[in-house]
Amino acid sequence: MTALSVNVNKIAVLRNSRGGAEPSVARAALCAIQAGAQGITVHPRPDQRHITPSDVDTLAQLCREQRVEYNIEGNPFAPARGDYPGLMALIERTRPTQATLVPDNDSQLTSDHGFDLARDGEHLRPYLQQLRDWGVRISIFMDAGTPDMEIAKSLGVDRIEIYTGPFAEQFAHGDATQALAHCRNTALQAQALGIGVNAGHDLSQANLAAFLAGVPNVLEVSIGHALIGEALYTGLDSTIRAYLDICRV
C-alpha cells in the first residue's frame, strides 16, 4: 500500500488570510491522522506565506504523539530570514521522519521543478550528511525523466520524490501517456539503484489511481492542494478516506 502524507499548507494559507488561529492547522492534521493518514507534510518557506516555524514545532509534537510520519519540505540553501530560522534549523530542532529537499524560491507560487543534481549535487552533499547524522530520512524532489539518478545514488539519498505536475497537467488534458511513462521509467531507475520512490504535486482523486497503476511501488504520496479543495465539498475525514481507498488498490 502507498502511504498518504497530507500536506496542511493550505489550512495555514486560509488562517493567515484572516489572522488569528483559525482554522487550526493542528486540528486539521489531527483530523487527517484520525481518518487514517500515515503522515503529515509541511513546506515552510522563508516568507512564511503559509506554514510558520511555530506550526512546524506544533506539528512535530503532534506527529510524535500520534506516531505518524512527519515530512518537512523545503530548500536547504535558503538563508534564515526574520523569524524563519532556515530549513536545517527547523529540522534539527524537530527531527522529522523525513526531509524532502526542494529547489524553490520566493518567486515561485508553488514548487515547479526538481533539483538539477549535476549542478547542485556537491553543494547539497554536506546538508545530506547533516540529515543523516540527525537520523532523518532524505528525499530529493526530482523531475520525471531526470538524467541524474546515478548522482542521487552517489549522494546517498534514501528516496526521491517525483514531481508529478506535468503528469497531472497532461491527465487534465486527456492523455497522460507520455508523462506517465517518464514517471514510470524514473521510478524503475531509482528502484534499481536501491532508492525509494515518493511522488507529489497536483495529484488528486481524479488522477491518483491512474498514476499508481502506471508507476510501480510508490512508497508515499504527498497531497495537499487538491485534497483540501475537495474537502471543502465533502469534508476532510471522508476525503482522506477516499484517498486511502485509492492508495490501497
Give how far the C-alpha of residue 123 lies from the chain's centroid of Cα atoms, to the nearest Å: 21
Residue of 161, 182, 201, 230 marked active site: 201
Element counts in the chain: helices (H) and strands (E): 11, 8
Q: Kindly report the backbone phi and psi dihedral angles of residue 127, in degrees, each rounded to the nearest multiple of 5, phi listed first.
A: -65, -40
Distance, CA of 93 to chain centre: 19
Contact 179, 200 (CB under 8 A): no
Q: Is 26 buried (19+), middle (13-18) or exposed (0-12) by CB count in 10 A? A: middle
Distance CA 144, CA 92 (A): 30
Catalytic residue status for 73: yes
The reply to whether 182 belongs to the active site is: no
CB of 215 closer than 8 Å to CB of 197: yes
Would you call 43 a catalytic residue per the annotation? yes
Burial profile 90-113: b = 16 or more Cβ within 10 angstroms, e = fewer: bbeebebbbbbbbbbeeeeeebee
Active site residues: 43, 73, 201
